[in-house]
Chain A
Amino acid sequence: MKGQVVAGVLAPHPPHLVYAENPPQNEPKSECGWEELRWGYERLRQQLSHIDYDVIIVHTPHWHTHTGHHILSVPKMKGLSVDPVFPNLFRYSYDLQVDVDLAKVLYEEFQASQLSSQLMTNKDFRVDYGTIISGHLVQPDWKKPIVSISANATYFDYSNDVGQDEMIRLGEATRRAVERSGKKAILLASCSLSHRHFTVEPPLPEDMSHEHVYNHNQYLWDMKVLKLMKEGKTQQLMSIMTDYIEQSVSETKAGSLTWLMGGLSFPTYPAQVHAYGSVIGTGNAVVSWMEAQS
């Protein structure tokens, strides 16, 4: 049976959201915080609970690689994820399943598409915190297996256009791999939108009186991008992506959102924006694309 990409989600990974939620897996405890985004994730989880899927494929900016695109390929991964930037907020014990069969199909398809790639098979590898945070926020019980793909930002170092092309090809190859695998997959882009952020932290991290988007220009760009998503104008979104990256220091430079658009074949149906909010100044949106429901 032919597999299918059944949904795409933009699921940012600020550790603050997990910290504010106080799940049993996370050691630091908080009083509150970032409710709008957390409530958006609740709506997203509710929506995903109504669809049938086998696996979540994550593209994560916090697994940096230079030599091609790496794919997580160890069946069971258990460990402690400590955010190197916010260790005071995120020290999370994870225990997850990886769909190794799908990882291998992805690898084969990437190779066939002339995309440099490799499988990550070292059992001591620590899964990056972007994958863990987005994974937790989308499915806190970790019931469904995942496959993570690293972010190779080297192409963006040459130019944003080169990076864009590479990530569109990667997204399209991901889609073909899913179809070959016979599985139903959700594609998850784990990234923020605008990413200019404060360089100091308030004494109490969850003190929301300190929280706001870094500047108005950044906010305007984020709204422009979200409007295009809601109107189903993703080709137009791609055409402004390089400017957007430059103007708002967007985390989409890691390629995750472009990969997602390629994987979804540039949706012309409207995205559902579940929430938008700032975290330490960065712009974050929880967004889903489901053709069947739009």
Chain B
Amino acid sequence: MIVKGLIVPGKPHPLLVSDKNEGWKKLNQAFDKARKEIEATQADVLLIYSTQWLSVIGHQIQADPEPRWNHVDQEWHQLGTIPYQFKMDSSYAEEYQSCAQKRGLHARTVSYQGFPIDTGTVVALKLLNPQNKLPACVVSCNMYADRAETLVLGKAARDALEKQNKKAVAVAVTSLSHRLFTKDIPYAEDRIYSQKDDEWNRKILELLSHGRLEDVSQLAREFSQQASGDQKMKALWWLASLMGQHNRYDGIVHEYQPIWGSGAAVVSLTPSSKKEFEREFDEEDVEFFGSAQSKDLATPQSSTSKAAISVANAPKPVGAYPHARRVGEMLYLSGIGPRNSKDNSIPGGPVRNEKGQAQNYDVAAQTRAVIENVKTILEGSGSSLEKVVDIQVFLVDMDRDFKNFNAVYAEYFKDIQATRTTVSISALPTPIAVEFKVMALA
């Protein structure tokens, strides 16, 4: 469930140079008020949608458990470097990706050392969660996505929270009006770019101060047209959808100030039980995106020929085949070994070195890594280890390895009771001792 929603700006000024402008200082203080609100919620995770993380191939979800970097903004590099080390909820990220796929969205998790986390996310996390008290999950803003796709993305985030029984604070990192100065201005002379932008900003802030998030979501298109809304105000579609598409919130506008001409506000929305007026919907609500209409059509690639699945954080296949393939209710996994997805190393060591000489490997460690890789692929495909139906196991040295393999296997599958066949073979394509071939319910 969502215990609180926040709207915050993503420009670096309140973080890096709040002393240079009275308005940026007030925004910094407003972030601090929002931080205290978060800390009072006992939430499990901070969900972030940032308009500065743009994607084009569906949506991306950050799954690196501890991203770190010395970040410099593309535009405001002269304001300084922002070193960061964040804590992400990788498990939730995987769940979110899976739920997004089930609702017909193209989504993948990313977990790469040095992945460029956007300034908006960096600013929000540094100011709202400076001690990393909460793990976070960040989702990208698809630059081509319109309202329907973004609403479904919000609903998928809600699905994932329900599945993991977690409480979250949702943060929309976005400017309001987004007309920026194109020439340098003295910091002290910052102002909202135009009176019209200012009036529109104040209009939607008034609605938000009354907790009318869904009304603002309905107004997003008009607002964007009139006031150059930041990325069409998609962040508000995501937030409204994630928070249940209603107006029953207690809203507080902590601050509203300009940042380089754009409208910047810190707003908090807390679910309440107050009475709600009838809402006006200008468009049909949408539960699934594209052709997906039910769980049976959960994948965006609904035809048999396109039902191949590739999971970003699983070891890369060694040939032209996908990690898995969904046919009807069943999921068929390609043979999977113990290789580490990040560096291709083999936990427990290889069975032979580069010269072909036999090595003293640890089959228990290899088996554990195989099962973890199977788990990653299943979860990335919307399934789970508990849904495994049948397993074929290939061992390169049955006499040496069966006992230790079998012990680790039992740790995971004793209660699942999948059928199993174990065979001895002479070799596998990479220097590994064990490989699984798995079938599971989708």
Interface pair A84/B116, CB less than 8 Å apart: yes
Q: Does A67 contact B (CB under 8 A)?
A: yes
Q: How far is the CB of A32 from chain B (nearest CB, A)?
A: 10
**Distance A198 CA – B142 CA, assembled complex (angstroms):** 13
Known: A31-B320, A155-B182, A199-B106. A122 touches B78 (CB 8 A): yes
A window 74-97: CB within 8 A of B: 80, 82, 84-88, 91
- Report if B399 contacts A (CB, 8 A): no
The reply to whether B58 and A128 form a contact with Cβ atoms under 8 Å apart is: no
Q: A125 and B72: CB pair below 8 A?
A: yes
Are B310 and A67 within 8 A (Cβ)? Answer: no
Contact residues, B222-272 vs A (CB, 8 A): 228, 260
Size bracket, chain A contacts: 35 or more
Q: Mark A250-294, 1 if CB is under 8 A from B, else 0.
A: 000000000000000000000000000000100000000000000
Q: In the complex where A64-B74, A126-B72, A197-B56 touch, is A87 in contact with B320 (Cβ < 8 A)?
A: no
Which residues of A116-147 have CB atoms within 8 Å of chain B's CB atoms? Answer: 116, 118, 120-122, 124-126, 128
B408 interfacial contact with A, CB 8 Å? no
Q: Does A3 touch B at the CB level, under 8 Å?
A: no
List, in ascending order, chain B residues with CB within 8 A of A201's CB: 57
Mark contacts of A187-215 with chain B using CB atoms, 8 A cut-off: 1 yes-contact digit, 0 otherwise.
00000000001111101100100000000
Q: B317 to chain A: which residues have CB within 8 Å? A: 204
Separation of A5 and B53 alpha carbons in the complex (Å): 36
Judged by a CB distance under 8 angstroms, whether B110 is at the interface is yes
In the complex formed, the residue of A with least CB distance to B116 is A84
Could you tell me the dominant secondary structure of chain A's interface residues?
A: loop
Q: A82-B112, A116-B184, A122-B80 are in contact. Are A199 and B58 (CB under 8 A)?
A: yes
> Is A63 in the interface zone, CB < 8 Å from B?
yes
> When the two chains form their complex, are residues A87 and B112 in contact, meaning their CB atoms are under 8 A apart?
yes
B182 touches A154 (CB 8 A): yes
Chain A residues within 8 Å of B110, by CB: 87
A160 in the interface (beta carbon within 8 A): no
Task: Indicate whether A67 sits within 8 Å of B300 (C-beta atoms), given known contacts A82-B114, A122-B78, A200-B106.
Answer: no
A31 CA to B316 CA, complexed, in Å:
12
Q: Hey, which bits of chain B sit against chain A, CB under 8 A?
A: 53-58, 60, 70-72, 74-75, 77-78, 80-81, 106, 110, 112-116, 118, 142, 144, 180-184, 228, 260, 300-301, 308-310, 312, 316-317, 320, 322-323
Instruction: Taking A63-B74, A84-B115 as given, write out 7 further A-B residue pairs in contact, using a Cβ cutoff of 8 Å, ordered by the A residue number.
Output: A65-B74, A66-B182, A68-B183, A70-B77, A91-B113, A124-B72, A197-B56
Please list the residues of chain A having a beta carbon within 8 angstroms of any beta carbon in chain B.
28, 31, 63-68, 70, 80, 82, 84-88, 91, 116, 118, 120-122, 124-126, 128, 150, 152, 154-155, 157, 197-201, 203-204, 207, 280
